[in-house]
Structure 1
Amino acid sequence: MRRKALLSLLLTASLCFSTAAVWAAPEKNLTSDQAFDNKIVKRIKVENIYNHIAELSKTPRVAGTPAEDRAVEYIKREFESYGYDTDVQEFEIYTYTEPDQLELHVDGITFDPAPSSFQYGVNGTVTGELIYCGLGAESDFEGKDVTGKIALIKRGSYTFATKILNAAAAGASAVIIYNNADGVMNGTLGGPDDGYVPSLAITNEQGEALKTRLDAGETVTATLIVEGAATDKAMSHNVVATKKATQKSTGELILVGAHHDSVEGAPGANDDASGTATVLELARVFANAPTDTDIRFVTFGAEENGLLGSYEYVERMTEEDYERTVGMFQMDMVGSKDAGPLIMYTADGEKNIVTDLGAAAGARLSETGEATPYGMEGRSDHVPFTEVGIPAALFIHAPVEPWYHSPEDTIDKISLDKLTEVSHIVGAAVYQAARPDTPALGKAKVAPKEVDYHFEERELE
């Protein structure tokens, strides 16, 4: 990625004008724009999205496994059935075998449900004193002697890997991370690292019970056992289908993406079969739509391993594609009936072309005329694009549902209304930029009427 730093700076500069514009229609053209929206949204069949989710979520789709291979073949076959030439990008990743022995012993506490492990965690048996270390930031270890001890850390704000590496750097021999919401959690560390120490995950109730004893001044000793875990190399894949402009081309490119993998043990109906299924349905709808802009539909592998598929995709982009890509729409977890309302997250917390288009589409399609809000959050496949200067945003419902990354992420939790909302907004937003009667986004001389949409401080979890 470092070799493209100069290109990143050039891209950021070249896109400054474009990101300042808000791509909403003037009031006098509102009816006209809604008519154009209907050319896309009226063709979207939410039942198709639901059926794709049902097929994809029959089993977990862990990256680098035969289950991911089957999902890739299914996605490729669907893209090809719409008439697309489809490319499958293969890349190397690490896979993880779950431990066959996982134990946590603390006098006075019975751990039911049992603790869970972290993907790419390491083996070991550790007995030591528990020390509460907040959220696991570097500052949370200042003034605390954790050498040879077990750090008790609460979930939130930082990745699991960051928490564990910070604890290990401070001298801790093991880590216990407890949930910040009800239920169990299945977490990933993103990949192997020699700096990890043995670690376990427990529920919020269990963690708070331990913290209460520590707060009361009690010395609490724990024994943590993780054995049988193994990390190996494997192959994951991105699936890429490109729609060429059907009218005189602007030369520009729009990306629409989602990740098709899930975590171990989770069928991933919402995370992220819902996004993948929506990409498939939008690809079907746009296959015969008139456009003067190329549209590329991508499903990424190994997102759950640390955004590996999207980083791989960005690494393989040609300089021409960097220069002509005006925006990237990422859909992740867009169908759960028990998640919060829709929000557009950018990695830097700033508005851009993608959020402008999404807000304008949301305002046109909403019964109340209210625009979709935006916020700041990373942790999905929009991040690598932002890092090289391409405007990108994550479309997601937040806060996420209680069974995020759990075996309960199943098809019965999917809402047709939420699938409809996101597919219509993203479809209309993409079409506003790609339809033949609108100017090339990077070449527009006059900024259209601004749509008022606001920043929200909304936690993803």
Structure 2
Amino acid sequence: MVLQKKGLKVAASLLALSMAFGSVGFAQTDIGNGKSGYSQDQKVIARVDAARAIEHIRYLSEEIGPRPGGLQAEKESAEYIANVLKSYGYEVEFQYFPVADQYIADVSFADGTSWQMAAAPNGKVSKEDVTGEVIFVDGGTNPADFPAYTAGKIVVMPRASSVAGYRTQVDNAVQSGAAGVILQSLVGSRGNYGQTFNPSLTSAVEIPVYGAAYIQGEWLKEKLAEGPVEINLSAEHFSNLESVNVIATKAPKGNNKNTKEVILGAHHDSVVGAPGGNDNASGVGLMLELARVYKGYNTDKELKFIAFGSEERGLLGARYYVDQLTQEQRDKIEAVFVPDMVATSYGPAKNLYAMTPNGSTNIVTDSTMAAGARLGNSDILPGTFGSSDHVPFHNAGIPAALFIWMGIDSWSPLVYHIEKVYHTPQDTIEDNISPERMQSALDIIGAGLFDVVRKDVPPLNK
């Protein structure tokens, strides 16, 4: 998920639910005209299985690993998703689109392990290894911070908070004879561990300069505490890149040419260096599991399952998809469901939110809030948030919503939580995936989506 520092506002949801459905016994209450009720929800929730969804997370995050937009690993992800959807009987197509260059670094150790980082475009970017012993420098903005034995060493430093500051750090390391520089990302304002980044240098330097995730810097310090550490640095400039959307279609049971279309879409890329377990193999896992269940049911709407590429590079896959649509095709889309980070085990991110960019309600938020009420599942709350693939659809006038686990501590000042390890090498099943959270998201989103594709959903206050 592309997460920026934007306003986030959540309604007084429990009061709203109480007013809409009553405070007692709403778990099995039909909404609207009665066609969609608790018994219909069971067609989905009795069959969806968090373990199946997590197996998709496992393959994407462990067998493939980091999936930066436009690189081979993202294409492997697309192939996996396409093959799973084809195995369920869906027709699948690939939609390719151009994306900007990538500068990817590899840091390898004597035991054969390696870490992916991001490289400075105007540092040394070469497949030719630079080998050296690691030293840790706490500071670096002052030449005196570097020990006399820096020459020939690979210097690891916590990056300065400003670009100008870390440029000074790099310049001083170069002047001290360093063979390479690894800048450790910082802990963010919400306590989130910093991700890999491409350092922006004022001018070209003849040594490799890499941007490491915060945890990678901590791991290097732990290794150094045990004894000398030698690493190999290499990097590659990838150009003429294409990213890819994967699109599967389920035709409606009728042949009405005016039939509406509903989309369940989740991005399948990750940031550099992150295996992307929760962000966003979890959303893909949820999408694939619902695709498996829905294949066995007749639906009144055309249903599309889309894995978007390069979300982490600026919502590029979703933007491209929307940009290619004619106005007639846009008008046909009734609802877009976007699961992004739907299975975190991080305790403070305690609620699943249905977010729209401007806080408005629509068929997506209404259907899932109603499903949560019918099922007696209080996890789901409404809210306002951008920064994911629902935004391009919303901007095109198409009802869309993001689903994500978050926690809100206060409104003034606004304090909210997402997991500390998103966008980092620790975004793994072991460190960041909850089967219970995944099951809750499958139940709520699955029931709400089924309500929409079976019939029109009336307003919650009807």
TM-score by length of 1: 0.66
Q: CA deviation at 1:38?
A: 0.8
The reply to whether residue 270 of structure 1 matches residue 281 of structure 2 is no
Would the aligned equivalents of 2:245 and 2:309 in 1 still touch at CA under 8 Å? yes
Q: How does 1:349-364 map to 2 (within 5 A)?
A: 349-364=359-374
Call closer, same or farther: CA 1:235–1:202 in 2, change over 3 Å: closer
Q: CA deviation at 1:246?
A: 1.4
The reply to whether residue 347 of structure 1 matches residue 357 of structure 2 is yes
Match of 1:90 in 2: 96
Call closer, same or farther: CA 1:177–1:229 in 2, change over 3 Å: farther
Match of 2:82 in 1: 76
The reply to whether residue 429 of structure 1 matches residue 448 of structure 2 is yes
Q: CA deviation at 1:340?
A: 3.0
Call closer, same or farther: CA 1:232–1:294 in 2, change over 3 Å: same
Match of 1:324 in 2: 332
Q: In structure 2, which of residues 357, 363, 375 is the aligned counterpart of residue 365 of structure 1?
A: 375
Segments of 5+ residues of structure 2 without an aligned counterpart are 1-19, 105-117, 125-136, 147-154, 171-184, 203-208, 218-233, 407-416
Q: How does 1:100-111 map to 2 (within 5 A)?
A: 105-107=140-142
Task: Tell me the SS of whatever aligns to 2:386.
Answer: coil
Q: CA deviation at 1:372?
A: 2.3
Q: CA deviation at 1:178?
A: 5.8
Q: CA deviation at 1:27?
A: 5.8
Paired with 1:287 and 1:275, the residues of 2 have a C-alpha distance of: 18
Paired with 1:414 and 1:345, the residues of 2 have a C-alpha distance of: 21
Q: CA deviation at 1:329?
A: 0.4
Paired with 1:96 and 1:184, the residues of 2 have a C-alpha distance of: 21
Paired with 2:306 and 2:288, the residues of 1 have a C-alpha distance of: 9
Task: Tell me the SS of whatever aligns to 2:422.
Answer: coil
The amino acid that maps onto 2:448 is A
Task: Tell me the SS of whatever aligns to 2:311.
Answer: coil
Match of 1:62 in 2: 68
Q: CA deviation at 1:251?
A: 0.6
Q: In structure 2, which of residues 240, 246, 249 is the aligned counterpart of residue 239 of structure 1?
A: 246
Paired with 2:31 and 2:339, the residues of 1 have a C-alpha distance of: 28
Q: CA deviation at 1:279?
A: 0.6
The amino acid that maps onto 1:38 is Q
The amino acid that maps onto 2:433 is I
The amino acid that maps onto 1:234 is L
Would the aligned equivalents of 2:197 and 2:212 in 1 still touch at CA under 8 Å? no
Task: Tell me the SS of whatever aligns to 2:404.
Answer: strand
Would the aligned equivalents of 1:178 and 1:202 in 2 still touch at CA under 8 Å? no
Q: CA deviation at 1:203?
A: 6.5
The amino acid that maps onto 2:242 is M
Q: CA deviation at 1:186?
A: 1.1
Aligned length: 350
Paired with 2:335 and 2:287, the residues of 1 have a C-alpha distance of: 15
Q: In structure 2, which of residues 386, 395, 400 is the aligned counterpart of residue 378 of structure 1?
A: 386
Match of 1:186 in 2: 195
Would the aligned equivalents of 2:196 and 2:424 in 1 still touch at CA under 8 Å? no
The amino acid that maps onto 2:189 is N
Call closer, same or farther: CA 1:292–1:188 in 2, change over 3 Å: farther
Match of 1:256 in 2: 264
The reply to whether residue 410 of structure 1 matches residue 431 of structure 2 is no
Would the aligned equivalents of 1:258 and 1:332 in 2 still touch at CA under 8 Å? yes
Paired with 2:96 and 2:32, the residues of 1 have a C-alpha distance of: 48
Task: Tell me the SS of whatever aligns to 1:373.
Answer: strand
Q: In structure 2, which of residues 286, 289, 304 is the aligned counterpart of residue 296 of structure 1?
A: 304
The amino acid that maps onto 2:270 is S
Paired with 1:335 and 1:373, the residues of 2 have a C-alpha distance of: 16
Q: CA deviation at 1:42?
A: 1.1
Call closer, same or farther: CA 1:66–1:28 in 2, change over 3 Å: closer
The amino acid that maps onto 1:237 is V
Paired with 2:437 and 2:397, the residues of 1 have a C-alpha distance of: 30
Call closer, same or farther: CA 1:365–1:89 in 2, change over 3 Å: same
Paired with 1:308 and 1:109, the residues of 2 have a C-alpha distance of: 42
Paired with 2:87 and 2:323, the residues of 1 have a C-alpha distance of: 28
Cα deviation digits, residues 399-449 of structure 1 (max 9, x gap):
3211111100111131111111111111111111111xx34x6xxxxx455
Paired with 2:272 and 2:427, the residues of 1 have a C-alpha distance of: 12
Would the aligned equivalents of 1:341 and 1:397 in 2 still touch at CA under 8 Å? yes
Paired with 1:310 and 1:354, the residues of 2 have a C-alpha distance of: 17
Paired with 2:424 and 2:72, the residues of 1 have a C-alpha distance of: 20
Q: CA deviation at 1:62?
A: 1.1
Call closer, same or farther: CA 1:79–1:266 in 2, change over 3 Å: same
Would the aligned equivalents of 1:88 and 1:237 in 2 still touch at CA under 8 Å? yes
Percent identity between matched residues is 35
Q: CA deviation at 1:371?
A: 7.3
Q: CA deviation at 1:99?
A: 2.3
Paired with 2:391 and 2:36, the residues of 1 have a C-alpha distance of: 34
Cα deviation digits, residues 184-234 of structure 1 (max 9, x gap):
311568xx9x9xxx9978979x9xxxxxxxxxxxxxxxxxxxx98856331
